[in-house]
Amino acid sequence: MKNILITISAALLICGCSKFTELDLPQDQITRDYIFKDEGLANSAMAGIYRSLESSGFVSGSSTGAQSYLSCYTDELTSYALAGTDTSQFFSLTHNALTPTVNSLWTVSYNQIYNINAMVEGLEQSTQLSQAFRQKLRGEALFLRAMVHLYLTNTYGDIPFISTTAYEQNQQVRRQPQAEVYAKIKADLTQAAIDLPATLPKGSRVKPTKMAAYALLARLAYYQEQWDDAVRYSGLVINYADYGMEMSIDRTFLKDSSSAIWQLMPSTATSATQQGNFFVLRTAPPARVALSPAFITGFEAGDQRRTKWVGEIKDSQGKSYYYPFKYKQFTVATVSSEYSVVFRVEELYLIRAEGYIRQGQSELAKNDLNKLRLRVGLSALTGADQNILLAAVQKERRYELFTEFGHRFYDLKHFKIIDQVMTAVKPNWKTTFSLWPVPEPEMLLNPNLNPQNNGY
């Protein structure tokens, strides 16, 4: 009976609303009264939020996650899907404010935020759960709220930062300048870092920790070009004894990888990750996506990422197609060998390297870059010219983080080269494409979301 109750209660809490402005259902409030009296029920409700993140939205590796769309949008993936499908629309840049995925990523993300806010409010109002338990779950919720808002603002620009389930307020929210959104994200992460435990053992890093909060603070500082913070927060994780780059990159995406900071579990104990299921090609030509040929030719000679993280399949005519092969398991097995890695220490080396360059500490930057390069069979950088080192950071980010949750799109904007790079590969690229449009259905529901982003 208890197991049935946990499942029903969690499902009711996480059902949310189809639009984040919709009225909160009365039975949700009744359910919360039960959930936040029992640690098992509260944990089950939080597990429902993690499952939502793994199955859809910005950090899902599935066909409906932002990862595939943003990689098609830039120069990482080629879409072979039928014209008019989501990946083809983003690949051909025919998206607009009515494109279903433009709308679904927005609404799915705000639905996730709604459920996260329900957790925060329920924990704060609970009088029967222990303080330590409430603090830990609140830290997880604040981390997740910050992360989803960060993806939203980096994709859509100015957005509402939603921190309540109160429908009266949410029906009339306005978009806030990105700087204000960043400030609220930082506040959430600062509190999360206080609330959360320092780390978790390898193989069980499926909940955010203090180190995950520092990793996201480092990424936030990278986007804001706040280099002191970027170096400091990256260093806190890099220097923590539990984390380190796997010298064999075959281990990077295993569930017990030393470099993993935060991972999402597959849907069952025997399932493959969403990435493995989506990216690995079984037939050619592909029905959905494959790596861009130009991306493949850009690898340096001897780079093990080319041989170990890229798969190849030939069609009946002998033509080769290449696919991301970071995740090797793509079907059900006796046990899941891989978890979806959302944050890993290699990204922090890249963030810190750029921070060092911007601070004028080229030797320290070179040391960080060489740790990444030597482990994949590339020669060490020897010069100390800042421009050459910055170019090296750009290239390392491209070939280290490819097809991981939209890094390429956000990096092109960060380095202010998005127009230069994209017009070379897609002549119909427009400067205004650096942001997605705010979904028109949402603007009709709430006119306060106007004006629309330029170009749409």
* Per-residue pLDDT tens over the stretch 200-236: 999 999 999 999 999 999 999 999 999 999 999 999 9
Asked, for residue 168, whether it belongs to a domain, the answer is: yes
Question: pLDDT class for 1, splitting at 50, 70, 90?
Answer: very low
- pLDDT, average across residues 181-192: 98
Asked, for residue 406, whether it belongs to a domain, the answer is: no
Asked, for residue 332, whether it belongs to a domain, the answer is: no
Residue 427 and residue 278 share a domain: no
* SS3 call for 220: helix
Asked, for residue 333, whether it belongs to a domain, the answer is: no
Residue 117 and residue 31 share a domain: yes
The mean pLDDT of the chain is 93
Asked, for residue 155, whether it belongs to a domain, the answer is: yes
CA 134 vs CA 214, 238, 321: distances in Å:
21, 28, 49
Structural domain ending residue among the three candidates 358, 375, 400:
400
Q: What is the pLDDT of residue 26?
A: 41
Query: Taking a C-beta distance cutoff of 8 angstroms, is the pair 105, 58 a contact?
Result: yes
Has residue 394 got a pLDDT over 70?
yes
Residue 105 and residue 183 share a domain: yes
Q: What percent of the chain has pLDDT over 70?
A: 93
- pLDDT, average across residues 142-165: 98
Has residue 118 got a pLDDT over 50?
yes
- Considering Cα of 338, then 339, then 340, then 342, what sign does the dihedral take? negative
Residue 366 and residue 427 share a domain: no
Q: How many CB atoms lie within 10 A of CB 440?
A: 17
Residue 247 and residue 116 share a domain: no
Question: pLDDT class for 30, splitting at 50, 70, 90?
Answer: very low
Q: What is the pLDDT of residue 29?
A: 47
Q: What is the pLDDT of residue 86?
A: 87
Asked, for residue 408, whether it belongs to a domain, the answer is: no
Task: Specify the pTM.
Answer: 0.93
Eight-class DSSP state of 401: S
Residue 371 and residue 297 share a domain: yes
Residue 351 and residue 226 share a domain: yes
- pLDDT, average across residues 256-265: 98
CATH of the domain at 150: 1.25.40.390
Count up the domains in the chain and report the number: 2
Residue 230 and residue 170 share a domain: no
Q: What is the pLDDT of residue 31?
A: 64
pLDDT tens-digit series, residues 262-320: 999 999 999 999 999 999 999 999 999 999 999 999 999 999 999 999 999 999 999 99
Q: What is the pLDDT of residue 304?
A: 98
Q: What is the pLDDT of residue 286?
A: 96
CA distance 14 to 362: 48
Q: What is the pLDDT of residue 22?
A: 41
Q: What percent of the chain has pLDDT over 90?
A: 89
Residue 113 and residue 5 share a domain: yes
Asked, for residue 455, whether it belongs to a domain, the answer is: yes
CA 239 vs CA 118, 211, 245, 385, 438: distances in Å:
35, 11, 12, 26, 40
Cα dihedral 87/91/93/98 (nearest 10): 0
Q: What is the pLDDT of residue 64?
A: 87
pLDDT tens-digit series, residues 404-437: 999 999 999 999 999 999 999 999 999 999 999 9
CA distance 434 to 158: 13
Asked, for residue 409, whether it belongs to a domain, the answer is: no
The range of the structural domain enclosing residue 64 comes to 1-196+416-456
Residue 152 and residue 103 share a domain: yes
Residue 189 and residue 229 share a domain: no
Residue 217 and residue 356 share a domain: yes
- pLDDT, average across residues 364-385: 97
Lowest mean pLDDT among 1-10, 179-188, 236-245, 415-424: 1-10
Beta bridge partners, 392, equal none
